[in-house]
Amino acid sequence: MKVAMQNSVSVGANATNSNILSGQRYERPPFNALGTLFAAGSALGLTVEINVGGRSVTPAMGVGAQNHFPIVPDDLLIDGWEAVKEQLIQITVANTTGGALTFFWRVELEYAGEE
């Protein structure tokens, strides 16, 4: 079983969005999952990092400037990260530029079995 969430978010100049998944259906997955993040930005200058259940999965990573919704598999940023059932998935996006940028994202969660 695999579920997906996809959207875009505008991040203001020199600003940070602390959790782009806030309010999304699978922000807290209903099952143990392996996660995949596909990402693209409207221009260079965005960074993204993932935390699950309060633990860091990735350091801040740069996002490419394709200026479109992610194309699977071309815009893969990171895959195979673990998301334990009901733990908060937090994806933080920061804009390091002097103008607003758009972050395009897709998160896929694949069922990884019981604990």
Residue 115: pLDDT over 80: no
Cα–Cα nearest to 63, from 109, 96, 26, 89: 96
* Span 95-114, pLDDT tens digits: 999 999 999 999 999 999 87
CA-nearest of 54, 41, 115 to 90 is: 54
Q: Which residues contact 55 (CB under 8 A, 6 or more apart)?
A: none
54-103 residue pLDDT tens: 999 999 999 999 999 999 999 999 999 999 999 999 999 999 999 999 99
- Structural class in CATH, domain 2-111: mainly beta
Q: What is the pLDDT of residues 1-58, one digit of tens each?
A: 999 999 999 999 999 999 999 999 999 999 999 999 999 999 999 999 999 999 999 9
What is residue 98's predicted lDDT score, i.e. its pLDDT?
97
Under 8 Å between Cβ of 44 and 14: no
Q: Extract the runs of DSSP E, i.e. beta strands, from the chain.
A: 2-11, 16-17, 33-41, 46-52, 55-56, 61-62, 76-83, 89-95, 101-111
